[in-house]
Structure 1
Amino acid sequence: MSRKSSFNIRPRKLQSGPILCMQQQEMCIKHTASMQIPTKLSFREHYPLRAAIASAAGLTIAVPSRLYAAPSPEKPLAGVRIAVKDLFDLKGVKTGGGNRAYYQTSSVRNRTAASVERLIDAGAIVVGKTKLSEFAFGGPYVTDHIDYLLPFNPRGDGRNSPSDSSGGSGASVASYEWLDASLGSDTGGSIRGPAAWNGVYGNRPSHGAVDLAGTIPLSPSMDTVGTLTRDPELWNTINNVLYAGAFQKYLDLPKKILLDPESSKQISSLRSQYPNITGEIDKFLNKLTQIMSGKISTFSVDDAWNKSTPAAFNTTRLASAVDLIYSKLTLYEQWNIFGKDFVKEYMETHSGDFPPMLPAIRQGWVIVNASLTQRGHQGDLRDKAGVADWVAKNFLVSDTKTCSNALYVYFTFPTTSYKLDVAKDISNPSIAGLQSTLLQQKIQLLTMNVTINCNTTLGSEELCKNSTKILSDATTKPVNPVYVGRLASIADLPDYTVPLGSFDLGELTSSKSTLRNQSLPLAVNLVAAKGCDLMLLDLIHKLYRRGAIRGAGVGSII
């Protein structure tokens, strides 16, 4: 509670959600987010609030009233309550990064992260920090969360994963009416995934839009800061504050709408059996074409790449290039900019012990330290620039009138993703070994079957053909198309996630927890050329005003 204010802040009873719990009348922060309350009326200093009040059999926590000040041109976010991902520094508290060892060695910060400070300057009030995947590396399953429990996604049966790494940021906004927005980071999908899975608005801006000072890095070459909200009007306001001065405004919209081929196939496969969801998609696309006065056509980024692959990439598939660049940049940059100093400091104060962390991260850092060089990193940066240059010339091209020559559209369909996915956790050596053994035995049996059907009198031409195909399918890795969401990270593109509602797809979304049907979120992503964030925000605002999209609620249904 504010130490110097002359007003009272009443505790308000909360619904259960992903970041609150009780332990003997004390707010849990080891297993939840750390809640903060401003210490001055200016809301610029914070301290951990470890006390909670039990009232009417419910947990309560003090939050500032929204009535302290009305929004104004100078303070457009006055009274807006926000939470921030626990990799942003807040003056007066520690930064944890999702790792207990780091939190223990971390010092109380004396400055607030630049991006958070910008929102505070506009009147926003930080009321808490949200959990994240350890050091912002991916970790959508419970087995990826060793120190802090993976937050609960409130949609559907309340047991699905919130996605990562800004899972706490997405789940908290989808759970609590008293929280207006949250701040997250996005390197390879860390806001867009949680936004889609938790059914809220979220975005990755064009790279370089926001000062990253005071933020734990994953890969500064791709790191961005974005917001998650339920209200598209607030989303428009808060993003205009966050990205003020970074982008140019355009009056016209692109006329070309490019639909992701994989999304198009999925829509076709659902059309006959689930007309409710395809009807919503059709409604959205129709409104989109009306507002943009454009036409929709499917566009394969992979086909375009194959026809004009840059010489430096030879015959490398786009998906392979993107995945390799992303993996090497994130590991090298986090280790050299953040991890190396953290490990050194921890070992000096803990008798040479390596700090406890997720095994996959530790293994990656060890490999980087032993094998990846600065020269190799420069080569990876050149490859990233090469992909970005190709995208800017052959895919989403800058336009003087509309900012981007086209709008790319892809969908995230309702799907289950349960926390307890232990049986498939190949980061566990025992599980990985078992899966490898089973695969080898399967291939041996299929090979024996081919031998019998093709080289003995027991077989036939038809049996030989069928068994050969089955063996080929089992031993051939599928050629997956590039994920444009990850391509956006490599090419510095803005990618904005918009929820379209909750849908029950029968067996496709059946709950493994309650054994009943559940409704899960459908989301659409809008991607444009680098620097076209204000164009996207303007388009989304028009979609909202025309009734094509709506605000999201809290709880199981959007």
Structure 2
Amino acid sequence: MAVLKRVLAGAALAGLASAAPLVKKGDFQFVATVPYGDTIFSVGDIDYLASTSSPVLSAASTHSLTTGSIVPFTVITTGDCYVSADFVSSTVESFAEWDDVYSAGFLEGVYISSNCTGATIDPAVFTWAESANVTSLFLSSDFASVNPGKTSYTVSSIYQPTPIECGPYAVAISEGGAASFSLVYRLYEDFQRTFIMGVYPAQDSIGSFKGLPQYLTKFQDEMIPVPSRIYSWSDSRPLAGLRVAIKDLYDLNGVQTSGGSRSWATITPIANITAPAIQRVIDLGGHIVAKFKTAQFASGANPWDFIDTQPPFNPRGDGYLTCDCSSAGGGCSMAAYDWLDHSIGSDTSWSMRRPASVSGTYGNRPSQGMITLDHVLPLGATQDTAGVFARTPKAWAHFAKNWYSPTLHQDSSITGLTEPLIINDTYKWPAKVYYPKDLFEPARNPAAAAIVQEFVANLTALGIQRVDINITDMVLKAPIASVSNVATWKAASSLLITNTAYWVIGKPLVTAWAAMFGGRYPPLDPNHTSWFHFNESTISDDKVAAAIAVKQAYSDWINYDFLGADDETCSGALWVYDIGTGGLPSYRYQQLITTAYPQATNMSYTPPTAKFTGSSVCSFAGCPDYTVPIGQVPYYSNVTFTTEMVPVTINVVARRGCDFMLFNLFEEMENRGMLATIKTGRTAF
């Protein structure tokens, strides 16, 4: 059975066929028509969206259905010339077994289509249909004479159908009697409030999308339309069927990009093109299902500084831990929802890595220049990168290795790095891993520190020698002023970010707002109010050029003098550090991170003997920096007043261009039981 070959083995089908037949249950109920003319309905206790304004098949038919009605249907398409009852029964059972969108409610009607002219059908199919309470049975006109036997069925025909994928559909009956088949999306509640809106394809010639501003009355949560995985079972593309959320910085044709700012959304039109990085996901078979929340303009804002949008809720622990900053919605959505496969965010200073750490998910800052950021709102063009969240190393590597394409690498005129980006997909590991004691000691939570030590020991078990260092001393003693003078490279990084943020976002926003609203300054979240309101002469072309020169010198030292190049292993060394909380809780409420609650911590933390944070290194040097969940530890919650669990993560860094080596390493660690698939919900493990 070709349509199921990517999901089910023959033995599994045989087992399903022998099981009790799936029986239609749950009545159809119309709920609403959305502004685009599409339909929300429920079957049983599950809500669905049907794209009835753009059906995938409209065909003449003979039937007794009521004009104007909408009927849930199950479509079974096959290339076989003989369709047996076992085949139909096992196919329907597999739909219910392997897809979260399909339910028995779609057995109200069944349409069986064969691509074989003159196909025949087993009369036992009609007996099966009766036993499953199927009300309407359609066959494609390819079938030869049909004998329903002693059943009460009058079989309806679909004439000259366009082949469509198997799965659940909503069938609308027009005045002329034609049956129109529309794709169906299950509506999931965004209880953690991680998304701005759900989105789904408009099914038009320009590849545009529609937003779904639909709420549950009880909680006022967004509803996210998720397509059936069955639609992709015959799709051989590498990302086929994967459901992906994207940060509200990426343009999606037909949808507003706000960057977390109501002011920006006011002055900018709806996007008329999809960002190339996102279009690649679509071209590879992925489904974009939502835009997730970001701190305004991808800043490093604390949750209590989110003003235009409410910060997402972290499902971990007591439910009131921070999701952190810029890519907050991406990390916490992956920690919350099994029905979401990946989220795509961005990282300028720490915006992928810190949300991954507090949500206990896998998240990466790739090598600078790894994928184009055209049609993406920038924060600092010379430091911006695009990363992906995942719940397992294998899924993480599979997505990233297909998504990151050399054809979409950024030009050095954007990154400020003249060294060509060459990706080495090696399975040989660096000889050593640097353990910077000044960034790990003193341990903030001994239980978390023990988990870190176990991870490092696992690296040594793979033949990677541990080397204890003091990275602060190494930087301060570097023979290059652009490295040894920490204030110099920090200032250069800040200037380059400000340069982009002001000229690309700030000035256009302030100018347009003043023109539209009588000279007024636009309402902004706290950390942008003064950022966009300063003397432009503080950013000159000469200063920008000097900052880029500092970046290049710093990048060369980190990538080649510190980490080192190696033809076989790509990176001469790895180094590790903790971008997270050290095993302490960090909350979404500022009041819970005070001297009254000494066991809690702010996210921004520099160890007492260090001069900089580990997160700042690759942000400026352009090297890959990956956050990996490695365990969890208990903490006493200031919210639930009981013991909860907080994730523990570690960051692993390699030389620029060694991204795929890192993915291969983490897959090997998963194979050996050193890394695990993380769970959704309160606990990661």
Decide whether aligned partners of structure 1 residues 517 and 359 sit closer, same or farther in structure 2, where only a CA change above 3 A counts.
same
Alignment of 1:493-508 (within 5 A): 493-504=623-634
The residue number in structure 1 matching 2:647 is: 521
The residue number in structure 1 matching 2:622 is: 492
Decide whether aligned partners of structure 1 residues 348 and 58 sit closer, same or farther in structure 2, where only a CA change above 3 A counts.
closer
The residue number in structure 2 matching 1:463 is: none
Alignment of 1:176-195 (within 5 A): 176-195=337-356
Alignment of 1:80-95 (within 5 A): 80-95=242-257
In the TM superposition, what is the alpha-carbon distance from 1:355 to its structure 2 partner?
1.1
Decide whether aligned partners of structure 1 residues 116 and 521 sit closer, same or farther in structure 2, where only a CA change above 3 A counts.
same
Decide whether aligned partners of structure 1 residues 257 and 159 sit closer, same or farther in structure 2, where only a CA change above 3 A counts.
same
Alignment of 1:122-161 (within 5 A): 122-142=284-304, 144-161=305-322
In the TM superposition, what is the alpha-carbon distance from 1:286 to its structure 2 partner?
2.6
State whether residues 293 and 312 of structure 2, in contact with CA within 8 Å, keep that contact through their aligned partners in structure 1.
Answer: yes
In the TM superposition, what is the alpha-carbon distance from 1:553 to its structure 2 partner?
1.0
Query: Secondary structure at the residue paired with 1:395?
Result: helix
State whether residues 202 and 226 of structure 1, in contact with CA within 8 Å, keep that contact through their aligned partners in structure 2.
Answer: yes
- The worse-fitting range, judged by mean Cα deviation, of 201-210 and 512-521 is 512-521
State whether residues 367 and 622 of structure 2, in contact with CA within 8 Å, keep that contact through their aligned partners in structure 1.
Answer: yes
Decide whether aligned partners of structure 1 residues 61 and 212 sit closer, same or farther in structure 2, where only a CA change above 3 A counts.
closer
- Between the aligned partners of 1:86 and 1:103, the Cα distance in structure 2 is 11
Decide whether aligned partners of structure 1 residues 497 and 379 sit closer, same or farther in structure 2, where only a CA change above 3 A counts.
same
- Between the aligned partners of 2:198 and 2:221, the Cα distance in structure 1 is 17
Decide whether aligned partners of structure 1 residues 378 and 95 sit closer, same or farther in structure 2, where only a CA change above 3 A counts.
same
- The worse-fitting range, judged by mean Cα deviation, of 410-419 and 491-500 is 410-419
Which structure's relative contact order is higher, taking Cα pairs within 8 Å and 6+ residues apart?
1
Q: Does 1:548 align with 2:636?
A: no
Q: Does 1:305 align with 2:451?
A: no
In the TM superposition, what is the alpha-carbon distance from 1:282 to its structure 2 partner?
3.8
Q: Could you tell me which of 485, 501, 506 is aligned with 1:339?
A: 506
The one-letter amino acid paired with 1:250 is: T
The one-letter amino acid paired with 2:364 is: N
State whether residues 232 and 544 of structure 1, in contact with CA within 8 Å, keep that contact through their aligned partners in structure 2.
Answer: yes
State whether residues 502 and 520 of structure 1, in contact with CA within 8 Å, keep that contact through their aligned partners in structure 2.
Answer: yes
The one-letter amino acid paired with 1:524 is: I
Unaligned runs of 5+ in 1: 20-31, 426-476
Decide whether aligned partners of structure 1 residues 325 and 238 sit closer, same or farther in structure 2, where only a CA change above 3 A counts.
same
In the TM superposition, what is the alpha-carbon distance from 1:287 to its structure 2 partner?
2.3
The residue number in structure 2 matching 1:466 is: none
State whether residues 190 and 224 of structure 2, in contact with CA within 8 Å, keep that contact through their aligned partners in structure 1.
Answer: no
Decide whether aligned partners of structure 1 residues 41 and 350 sit closer, same or farther in structure 2, where only a CA change above 3 A counts.
closer
Q: Could you tell me which of 204, 209, 212 is aligned with 2:370?
A: 209
The one-letter amino acid paired with 1:164 is: C
Query: Secondary structure at the residue paired with 2:532?
Result: helix
In the TM superposition, what is the alpha-carbon distance from 1:323 to its structure 2 partner?
2.7
Q: Does 1:379 align with 2:546?
A: yes
Query: Secondary structure at the residue paired with 1:526?
Result: strand
The one-letter amino acid paired with 1:534 is: F
- The worse-fitting range, judged by mean Cα deviation, of 376-385 and 282-291 is 282-291
The one-letter amino acid paired with 2:679 is: G
Decide whether aligned partners of structure 1 residues 511 and 328 sit closer, same or farther in structure 2, where only a CA change above 3 A counts.
same
Identity %: 30
The size of the alignment, in residue pairs, is: 480
Higher helix share: 1
The residue number in structure 2 matching 1:285 is: 456
Q: Could you tell me which of 426, 441, 445 is aligned with 1:250?
A: 426
Q: Does 1:46 align with 2:209?
A: yes
Task: Give me the TM-score of the superposition, normalised by structure 2.
Answer: 0.66
- Between the aligned partners of 2:366 and 2:221, the Cα distance in structure 1 is 38
Query: Secondary structure at the residue paired with 1:184?
Result: strand
The residue number in structure 2 matching 1:353 is: 520
Q: Deviations over 1:14-63 (max 9, x none)?
A: 472223xxxxxxxxxxxx51111122289942111123467999986531
State whether residues 140 and 164 of structure 1, in contact with CA within 8 Å, keep that contact through their aligned partners in structure 2.
Answer: yes
Query: Secondary structure at the residue paired with 1:68?
Result: helix
Higher strand share: 2
State whether residues 91 and 112 of structure 1, in contact with CA within 8 Å, keep that contact through their aligned partners in structure 2.
Answer: yes
Query: Secondary structure at the residue paired with 2:668?
Result: helix
The residue number in structure 1 matching 2:563 is: 396
State whether residues 89 and 95 of structure 1, in contact with CA within 8 Å, keep that contact through their aligned partners in structure 2.
Answer: yes
Q: Deviations over 1:73-97 (max 9, x none)?
A: x511111111100000000111010
State whether residues 371 and 405 of structure 2, in contact with CA within 8 Å, keep that contact through their aligned partners in structure 1.
Answer: no
Q: Does 1:535 align with 2:655?
A: no
State whether residues 293 and 329 of structure 2, in contact with CA within 8 Å, keep that contact through their aligned partners in structure 1.
Answer: yes
Query: Secondary structure at the residue paired with 2:334?
Result: helix
Query: Secondary structure at the residue paired with 1:335?
Result: helix
In the TM superposition, what is the alpha-carbon distance from 1:500 to its structure 2 partner?
1.3
- Between the aligned partners of 2:513 and 2:188, the Cα distance in structure 1 is 40
- Between the aligned partners of 2:224 and 2:569, the Cα distance in structure 1 is 47
- Between the aligned partners of 2:585 and 2:381, the Cα distance in structure 1 is 32
In the TM superposition, what is the alpha-carbon distance from 1:366 to its structure 2 partner?
2.0
Decide whether aligned partners of structure 1 residues 208 and 15 sit closer, same or farther in structure 2, where only a CA change above 3 A counts.
closer
- Between the aligned partners of 2:649 and 2:372, the Cα distance in structure 1 is 28
In the TM superposition, what is the alpha-carbon distance from 1:548 to its structure 2 partner?
0.4
In the TM superposition, what is the alpha-carbon distance from 1:184 to its structure 2 partner?
0.1
State whether residues 45 and 91 of structure 1, in contact with CA within 8 Å, keep that contact through their aligned partners in structure 2.
Answer: yes
Q: Deviations over 1:316-338 (max 9, x none)?
A: 2x3x3343222221112211123
Q: Does 1:409 align with 2:576?
A: yes
In the TM superposition, what is the alpha-carbon distance from 1:486 to its structure 2 partner?
1.0
State whether residues 433 and 576 of structure 2, in contact with CA within 8 Å, keep that contact through their aligned partners in structure 1.
Answer: yes
- Between the aligned partners of 1:303 and 1:229, the Cα distance in structure 2 is 35
Decide whether aligned partners of structure 1 residues 542 and 130 sit closer, same or farther in structure 2, where only a CA change above 3 A counts.
same
Decide whether aligned partners of structure 1 residues 294 and 50 sit closer, same or farther in structure 2, where only a CA change above 3 A counts.
closer
State whether residues 361 and 629 of structure 2, in contact with CA within 8 Å, keep that contact through their aligned partners in structure 1.
Answer: yes
- Between the aligned partners of 2:593 and 2:428, the Cα distance in structure 1 is 48
In the TM superposition, what is the alpha-carbon distance from 1:264 to its structure 2 partner?
4.3
The residue number in structure 2 matching 1:325 is: 492
State whether residues 482 and 488 of structure 2, in contact with CA within 8 Å, keep that contact through their aligned partners in structure 1.
Answer: no
In the TM superposition, what is the alpha-carbon distance from 1:304 to its structure 2 partner?
1.4
State whether residues 576 and 652 of structure 2, in contact with CA within 8 Å, keep that contact through their aligned partners in structure 1.
Answer: yes
The residue number in structure 1 matching 2:401 is: 240
- The worse-fitting range, judged by mean Cα deviation, of 185-194 and 144-153 is 144-153
CA-based RMSD: 2.6
Greater Rg over alpha carbons, structure? 2
Q: Deviations over 1:240-263 (max 9, x none)?
A: 122123623224211111112145
Decide whether aligned partners of structure 1 residues 522 and 383 sit closer, same or farther in structure 2, where only a CA change above 3 A counts.
same
State whether residues 283 and 548 of structure 1, in contact with CA within 8 Å, keep that contact through their aligned partners in structure 2.
Answer: no
Query: Secondary structure at the residue paired with 1:529?
Result: coil
- Between the aligned partners of 2:220 and 2:371, the Cα distance in structure 1 is 43
State whether residues 264 and 298 of structure 1, in contact with CA within 8 Å, keep that contact through their aligned partners in structure 2.
Answer: no
The residue number in structure 1 matching 2:465 is: 295
State whether residues 11 and 60 of structure 1, in contact with CA within 8 Å, keep that contact through their aligned partners in structure 2.
Answer: no
- Between the aligned partners of 1:484 and 1:387, the Cα distance in structure 2 is 14
Q: Does 1:4 align with 2:55?
A: yes
- The worse-fitting range, judged by mean Cα deviation, of 2-11 and 148-157 is 2-11
Decide whether aligned partners of structure 1 residues 263 and 518 sit closer, same or farther in structure 2, where only a CA change above 3 A counts.
farther
Query: Secondary structure at the residue paired with 1:496?
Result: strand
Decide whether aligned partners of structure 1 residues 98 and 385 sit closer, same or farther in structure 2, where only a CA change above 3 A counts.
same
State whether residues 98 and 148 of structure 1, in contact with CA within 8 Å, keep that contact through their aligned partners in structure 2.
Answer: yes
The residue number in structure 2 matching 1:449 is: none
State whether residues 247 and 346 of structure 2, in contact with CA within 8 Å, keep that contact through their aligned partners in structure 1.
Answer: yes
Query: Secondary structure at the residue paired with 1:239?
Result: helix
Decide whether aligned partners of structure 1 residues 46 and 501 sit closer, same or farther in structure 2, where only a CA change above 3 A counts.
same
State whether residues 195 and 228 of structure 1, in contact with CA within 8 Å, keep that contact through their aligned partners in structure 2.
Answer: yes
- Between the aligned partners of 2:212 and 2:531, the Cα distance in structure 1 is 35
State whether residues 47 and 93 of structure 1, in contact with CA within 8 Å, keep that contact through their aligned partners in structure 2.
Answer: yes
Decide whether aligned partners of structure 1 residues 71 and 352 sit closer, same or farther in structure 2, where only a CA change above 3 A counts.
farther
